[in-house]
Structure 1
Amino acid sequence: MSPFKLLPQSVRHLGVSQLSYGIRVFIALCGAITMSLVTDRIDMVIPLFLGVIASALAETEDGWQGRLRALSITLVLFLVTAFGVQLLMSHPWAMGISIAVVAFSMSMGGALGRRYGQISQATLILAVYTMIGLNQATQAVPVWYEPALLTLGALWYGVLSVIWAALFVHIPLRQALATLYVEVGRYLKLKSRLFPLITSEAVDSLRLDLAQQHGQVVVALNKVRAILVSRIDSSPQNPRLGRYIQLYFIAQAIHERASSSHYDYADLAETFFHSDILFRIQRQLYEAGVSCEKIGEAVRSKQAIDLHDSEIAVAGLKKSMAYLAQNAVPVRGRLFRSLRQLSDNVVSLQQELDKARSLEDISLTDASQQIPQPPVNFRAILSQIVDQLTPKSQVFRHAVRMSIGLTCGYAIIQTTDISVGYWVMLTTLFVCLPTFGSTRKRLYERIVGTVVGLVLAWSLITLFPLDLIQLLIAVVAGVVFFLTRTHRYVLATSAITLMVICCFNQVSDGYDVILPRLFDTLIGSVISWLAVFFILPDWSYRQLPITFAEGLRRSSDYLRDLMGFYQAQAVSEQVYRHSRRRANNADALLTSTLVNMQQEPGHFRRDTELWQRLVIRSHTLFNYIAAFGAHREALIAQTSDPLLIAAGEYIVNSLTEVAQCLEDRSLVVDCTTEFEQLRAQLDECSTQENEQHYFVLSQLLSLLGQLEDIRKLTRELQIQVHGEAVTSKE
């Protein structure tokens, strides 16, 4: 049995990566305390602690070489920022202007990706930490003192991080892969509820849940891909990395098969109502989901992979299909072929699971050919930033809000006599997020967590007046903060509040900062709420048409590339994977935008029912396209039919047309007659079609149904929202 299995369930849920994160923070904070005690300068604890926290917040998931590069950038930014704050603290006007400029510039770092966004955010946090430290200084210190200690704390944690990454190369990657397989497993178990078919209302609700879970899978896929790219750059000779890349490709294949839809499940359920086949499919999908979760657990803890239950389920499915094949009646003939395609997809899904069990370490060059690394140079970086310098960009809007919010917080501090007022700016930094829904949620969590943390801090510093015990409490609280800050923010806020009070109690009276901490948190939260509500607000109902149009374009490109396989065109695997990833991302973004709108104030939740139906149709359309990807080998193997090629081109062009109409705010044309004519041609072909073409034909008919609904719903939405403001092309 793995030692990881012996840990409590709540601890195992955190994962090895999170636990190692906590261990690094624990070592770093203990080291800061040791240095303060050895030098007999207890006042060094606060800046050293703050430097450690800022560095840990800036930590990336790269290999040791990537972390070393990121640490170099981080330390330079920290040092320049800390000295800049030190020099400008006595010049309020210059400081206010600098805060506005630096906050905007650092927030625009998010345009370069998550890695640089983290470093930029941590730099802003360190700037405020510097202000807090200087504001609380009880005696005159040299100009270099505060910046040097903050940077020293950051360097200390950064060195630990680099060493840890060199010693435990694949822990973050294993954790990310484990999370990916768990999310895919949840998607499979959720999809199993479609069989046997439930009521139409419940189907729509379930498909919306599937779209949201699909978004979680896409996030996990992107995270694993980013880590793999960084590992290929820093550890190209590591054969184990080749195995992890294969696991990533297998997860992609499972996800593609899991997200595939074949024919209309309602027709299948009605035709095979008296058979157990749909229950067999349901069980197999559910057990496959469980097997995915087992693979995730095995990757996380290096255990053997047990697929026994899903293997039994797929064996039962094969027997049931064999029985139906022998006893099929003519009326079931056509739908039996659709059922066989569905069952073949489920069986192939089990084969992908089997591959994960038998993987071995291989040469990296064999497995990494289809993970192209993006170019990294000054021109590419500049282009990424310039492309986001527009009010249409969420990064730009957030940067403007952050700049104005922090500047307003600084103005309040300068014009009022707020004790420890820089916590106002710190709260704004942590609470003000890119969307209103996430900001509102974070605001409530921050306030509740602060109240709980202050009560806990008052109790503990009263019960344990010894400085050493309070420092140990501060260390434990700091570790808890980093273990919980991404998924239990109330607890994380309580922990960091407790840590702060315990630290301040070492250099002054901790009781004196309890109420200021609460008032500053409330002021900072109000500033964040006002900023996200009034300054270039990201109301999702405004973003949904463009996001929906982008999703349709990406689905159109995805289908075009897949039909290229059918037409025997030279479509490379890399081009196909790139197209699939963009379609996945666009579909996930559309769903998350809808979820964000549902979290916004009532008068900003517009046409929610129509948008829900459109998102469901868009995701279902994506599912039918994904089935082409799951069976692309069959597409390549067969000869093409001109009518099916024309139908595929019509769907591709129609999706692009709807996207263009949404972008131009022109009315989508009613194409009911065209749909009826094309459907009649395909139905006529269906009585004579080659067995090889049936899959393509049935999927195109399903896509036509979804496309027709999308056009009608989009037209209805445009008329309802814009009325006469939308120009008609009819």
Structure 2
Amino acid sequence: MSIQSFKFSLQTLRKEGGISQLSYGIRVFIALCGAMALSWGINQIDMVIPLFLGIIASALAETEDGWQGRVRALLITLVLFIITAFGVRLLMPYPWVFGISIALVAFCLSMCGALGRRYGVMAQATLILAVYTMIGLNQATHEMPIWYEPVLLSFGALWYGILSVIWAALFAHVTLRQALTSLYIEIGLYLKLKSKFFPLPTRGAVDSLRLDLAQQHGQVVVALNRVREILVSRIDSNPTNPRLGRYIRFYFIAQGIHERASSSHYNYSDLAETFFHSDILFRLQRQLSEAGTSCRKIGEAIHGGHAIDLRDSEETVAGVLRSIDYLEREAEPTQWRLFRSLRQLTDNVIALQQELDKARQLEDISLSDASQQIPQPRVTFRSILSQIADQLTPKSQVFRHAVRMSLALSCGYAIIQNMNLSVGYWVMLTTLFVCLPTFGSTRKRLYERIAGTVIGLVAAWALITLFPVEVIQLVIAVTAGVVFFLSRNNRYVLATAAITLMVVCCFNQVSDGYDVIWPRLIDTLIGSIISWLAVFFILPDWSHRQLPMTFAEGLRRSADYLRELMRFYQEDNVSEQVYRHSRRRAYNADALLTSTLVSMQQEPGHFRRDTELWQRLVIRSHTLFNYIAAFSAHRGTLIEQPSNQLLADAGNYIVESLQEVAQCLEQKQLVTDSSAEFERLRNTLEDCPSDDDERHYFVQSQLQSLLGQLEEIRRLTLELQVQVHGEHIKDVK
């Protein structure tokens, strides 16, 4: 299967699933139909708008927890919604007080992003509901009781929340299966890309491939984190569920496959040159490619519940074994120098297939046995305050976005008050949806929002003209609402068009829908401009400014990861939990570095500084990380030898050198020239006897590879520092 078809499968899965999008759409459809039936049944069609808006806000606040977790999240969401809706209703007649309140509430709710994605989603939905309340009050045709709008909005939110809880109880593991499926397909695509290193392509193609591999590695890390987050939220909910224990095992198997897939052994160019006339490299390529296909099959089996077929990858492993056995008997003298490195590479590939076989043999098991390696975070009021307090600094992206959102919404409200816009609160709604933490994502969302709004308004004008009957327009509104939720994560233009169509159809039930077409377009343009100005001028998150610190953090995490791994080769008892923690932090840091580079490439031209140098640095950093990951794949205690201390010293030097480069970047000091030390250490490792101990030889060869990457990282970092900072950077004394 080609990489293109693999990507198509992943895109298809995302369109169908995402966060269980199909079931998501079904719940929204039921909720909107219920609200429409209620309004129609009691002959109060004007109730449709607040009920629909409450449902939408509640659906946007939905978490991926089990049903118990969703009950807790629903209670928190309802409390926030009720307080916010009544607050808007009471303060709206007092513009100055209301404007100040908007700024404070927007900042506080945006800071909830420091607590994690689920709380950030609930806070964002609360801000959206606040604007929905303003829109509803602004469009009221006659005086309503003070409780009317807040109660109907909250009732719509409660109605959807109840459906969400019931659905989570009936289909407990749908979201988890979907996340695991996505994870295995992402890992499969990573393996497909990795297989293209055998045999090695041209030098230019290698750098491009390594960059693609680093970016795909980031996608795998995101998928791993999402599965872990879902598992953590479910472990406490149902401690006796054996199926959940099986899914936890799938997660750990995926971790093991990814760890082996991300490992690099020796220098691929040397292996390619030495074994050019052998078929072993082609067999390795086919095996990794088939392993990627097997990962896809595992993901589809988890999603569909059918048996896992791994025969193709098993056959390719047999071919690799036959080829390596033949080489061992018939290898030429020039090939023996790297034969042991090749053997370690093939051992890793064989072990990867064994990890795949574990997935096929899995049965439902005890949850207590499976979950012991996933630590449960203790959440207390003090820990919540501590997490938020840690982010109250301009260095924090959460803080910068909170300030930006607060000022942008306040600016939007001021424009509404001074320009006397008829449906002006759509300005603030557009700002909420368009203003994202980074410039690249905001610009992309801005274009999509404007395009979707135009398409939606044209479609709305045509449909309410062609179908003037109220019931048909309500059916169109419900359909558009469902389309919005099915497409909002993957096709934002379509989602915006759908929600715009829904809004116009709903407003046409209580007033003239044609009257909101131009105001909607104008408000969208104003809100988009505010968002663009905010992300450009208010504490901007230019990625080229973040890259040095992100790169430094990645080097530190890689150093910590290597230090923990070296302990496995020197000590008998090493904490598995500490090792897993350092590994997760290193993987996340490596993924963040790649995503930051991608964000920089989306920024205006004069902000894309030193792109080529940064690409080379990111490639070197990820390659170094791959060599470190190989220590994890082969970890085990070394037999006692006098040269063990030399290996330990070399490992410590690499750790300290990585930390030194990180410190120089943080303190804006020039990286020193250590070529003499590198040459001395390289000669020491080359002269180090390895005897017949394969593990000793592996550690020695991997340390040599790490030294080569580290030396290049130091050289490129110094070149970047001199090029960017020149004489303004302090020299190291």
> Which category of TM-score, normalised to the shorter sequence, fits these structures?
over 0.9
Match of 1:578 in 2: 581
Render the CA deviation track for 1:125-164: whole Å, top value 9, x for unaligned: 0000000000000011100000000000000000111111
Match of 1:697 in 2: 700
Match of 2:314 in 1: 311
How does 1:538-549 map onto structure 2 within 5 Å? 538-549=541-552
The alignment status of 1:344 with 2:308, answered yes or no, reads no
Match of 1:105 in 2: 108
How does 1:509-658 map onto structure 2 within 5 Å? 509-568=512-571, 570-632=573-635, 634-635=636-637, 641-658=644-661
Render the CA deviation track for 1:303-359: whole Å, top value 9, x for unaligned: 111112111111111111111111112221121111111111111111111110110
Provide the C-alpha distance between the structure 1 equivalents of 2:347 and 2:691, rounded to a whole number of angstroms: 23
Match of 1:118 in 2: 121
Aligned residues: 722
Match of 1:415 in 2: 418
Shift of 1:570: 3.0
Provide the C-alpha distance between the structure 2 equivalents of 1:324 and 1:682, rounded to a whole number of angstroms: 27
Secondary structure of 1:670's match? coil
The alignment status of 1:210 with 2:216, answered yes or no, reads no
- Of 372, 375, 378, the residue aligned with 1:369 is 372
- Of 233, 238, 252, the residue aligned with 2:236 is 233
Provide the C-alpha distance between the structure 2 equivalents of 1:465 and 1:585, rounded to a whole number of angstroms: 54
Shift of 1:11: 8.0
Secondary structure of 2:372's match? coil
Provide the C-alpha distance between the structure 2 equivalents of 1:716 and 1:82, rounded to a whole number of angstroms: 56
Render the CA deviation track for 1:455-504: whole Å, top value 9, x for unaligned: 11111111111111111111111111111111111111111111111111
Provide the C-alpha distance between the structure 2 equivalents of 1:486 and 1:686, rounded to a whole number of angstroms: 56
1:77 partner amino acid: L
Provide the C-alpha distance between the structure 1 equivalents of 2:320 and 2:637, rounded to a whole number of angstroms: 25
CA contact (8 A) 2:35 2:52 kept: yes
2:381 partner amino acid: F
How does 1:121-200 map onto structure 2 within 5 Å? 121-200=124-203
CA contact (8 A) 2:15 2:487 kept: no
Provide the C-alpha distance between the structure 1 equivalents of 2:67 and 2:184, rounded to a whole number of angstroms: 25
CA contact (8 A) 1:686 1:697 kept: no
Provide the C-alpha distance between the structure 2 equivalents of 1:603 and 1:327, rounded to a whole number of angstroms: 58
Render the CA deviation track for 1:203-257: whole Å, top value 9, x for unaligned: 1111011110000000000000000001002111111111000000000000000
Flag the 1:365–1:571 CA change in 2: closer, same or farther, 3 A.
same
Shift of 1:638: 7.2
Secondary structure of 1:369's match? helix
- Of 488, 491, 494, the residue aligned with 1:491 is 494
2:631 partner amino acid: F
Match of 2:94 in 1: 91
The alignment status of 1:379 with 2:382, answered yes or no, reads yes
The alignment status of 1:14 with 2:16, answered yes or no, reads yes
The alignment status of 1:449 with 2:452, answered yes or no, reads yes
Match of 1:467 in 2: 470
Shift of 1:690: 3.8
- Unaligned 5+ runs, structure 2: 1-8
Deviates more, 1:350-359 or 1:687-696: 687-696
- Of 473, 476, 480, the residue aligned with 1:477 is 480
1:21 partner amino acid: Y
Shift of 1:417: 2.4
How does 1:39-118 map onto structure 2 within 5 Å? 39-118=42-121
- Of 361, 378, 396, the residue aligned with 1:393 is 396
Match of 1:4 in 2: none
Render the CA deviation track for 1:62-119: whole Å, top value 9, x for unaligned: 1111110110000000000000000111100011000000000000010000000000
Provide the C-alpha distance between the structure 2 equivalents of 1:234 and 1:466, rounded to a whole number of angstroms: 48
- Of 264, 270, 294, the residue aligned with 2:267 is 264
1:683 partner amino acid: E
- What TM-score results when the alignment is normalised by the length of structure 2? 0.97
Provide the C-alpha distance between the structure 2 equivalents of 1:388 and 1:174, rounded to a whole number of angstroms: 33
Match of 2:333 in 1: 330
Deviates more, 1:221-230 or 1:320-329: 320-329
Match of 2:5 in 1: none
Secondary structure of 2:196's match? helix
Deviates more, 1:290-299 or 1:248-257: 290-299
Provide the C-alpha distance between the structure 2 equivalents of 1:728 and 1:215, rounded to a whole number of angstroms: 34
CA contact (8 A) 1:549 1:659 kept: yes
- Unaligned 5+ runs, structure 1: 1-6
CA contact (8 A) 2:103 2:410 kept: yes
Provide the C-alpha distance between the structure 1 equivalents of 2:376 and 2:334, rounded to a whole number of angstroms: 52
CA contact (8 A) 2:638 2:696 kept: no
CA contact (8 A) 1:178 1:299 kept: yes
Flag the 1:410–1:541 CA change in 2: closer, same or farther, 3 A.
same
Provide the C-alpha distance between the structure 2 equivalents of 1:293 and 1:708, rounded to a whole number of angstroms: 37
Render the CA deviation track for 1:557-586: whole Å, top value 9, x for unaligned: 000000000011532111111110000000
Match of 1:674 in 2: 677
Provide the C-alpha distance between the structure 2 equivalents of 1:240 and 1:139, rounded to a whole number of angstroms: 55
CA contact (8 A) 1:245 1:367 kept: yes
CA contact (8 A) 2:13 2:182 kept: no
CA contact (8 A) 1:32 1:49 kept: yes
Shift of 1:10: 5.4
- Of 298, 321, 333, the residue aligned with 2:324 is 321
Flag the 1:13–1:316 CA change in 2: closer, same or farther, 3 A.
farther
CA contact (8 A) 1:638 1:692 kept: no
Secondary structure of 2:573's match? coil
Shift of 1:365: 1.1
Match of 1:437 in 2: 440
- What TM-score results when the alignment is normalised by the length of structure 1? 0.97
Secondary structure of 1:412's match? helix
Provide the C-alpha distance between the structure 2 equivalents of 1:335 and 1:573, rounded to a whole number of angstroms: 32
CA contact (8 A) 1:561 1:576 kept: yes
Provide the C-alpha distance between the structure 2 equivalents of 1:400 and 1:449, rounded to a whole number of angstroms: 28
Secondary structure of 2:413's match? helix
Flag the 1:37–1:61 CA change in 2: closer, same or farther, 3 A.
same
Provide the C-alpha distance between the structure 2 equivalents of 1:689 and 1:355, rounded to a whole number of angstroms: 31
Render the CA deviation track for 1:681-719: whole Å, top value 9, x for unaligned: 111115757433111011000000000001111111111
2:392 partner amino acid: L
CA contact (8 A) 2:102 2:409 kept: yes
CA contact (8 A) 1:566 1:638 kept: no
- Of 275, 285, 290, the residue aligned with 1:287 is 290
Deviates more, 1:683-692 or 1:613-622: 683-692
Provide the C-alpha distance between the structure 1 equivalents of 2:431 and 2:374, rounded to a whole number of angstroms: 38
2:358 partner amino acid: K
Match of 1:3 in 2: none
Alignment identity in percent? 76
2:395 partner amino acid: K
CA contact (8 A) 2:638 2:695 kept: no
Provide the C-alpha distance between the structure 1 equivalents of 2:279 and 2:455, rounded to a whole number of angstroms: 54
